[in-house]
Amino acid sequence: MPPAGDIEVLASNEAFYEAFNARDVEAMDRLWAEQAPVVCLHPGSTALHGRSQVIRSWRSILASSGAPHVSIDGERVVMLGETAMVLCYERVTDPDSGTGAVLAATNVFVRESGEWRLVHHHASAIGRIVADAKSEPRTLN
């Protein structure tokens, strides 16, 4: 059984992907820190700095009819006091074709108003595209 802090962080991490898959802009907005500085690196994109840029990007992504479905596995929590990192795999699947890719993701959370809030999301390809999005990735560096 993971420590209580890990469970709370993993719940916030899961809420992030649930908001993504539900295309729930309000839930996504609530997950991001309001006081701490935030940064987001979407695959193939430059870094977005500041809450307004980050939330604007999520509004655009979640409004897209072609937005993929994302499932996660291999979650690992690294606790650093009031900061926590979650390293995981994202299995990104095109809803129309079923093809996809496996990405490595890092989600960084801070304690803000008693909740774990995102301050950083970075997802990038790990060099292997899979037809069914079920093949095991080789490594998570």
pLDDT for 135 equals 47
pLDDT for 128 equals 52
Q: Taking the CA atoms of 44, 47, 48 and 51 in sequence, report the sign of the dihedral they define.
A: positive
96-126: string of b/e by CB count within 10 Å (b at 16+)?
A: eeeebbbbbbbbbbbbbeeebbbbbbbbeeb
* Number of residues assigned to the chain: 141
pLDDT for 1 equals 63
Residue ranges of the chain with per-residue pLDDT less than 50: 129-141
CA–CA gap between residue 135 and residue 80 (Å, rounded): 32
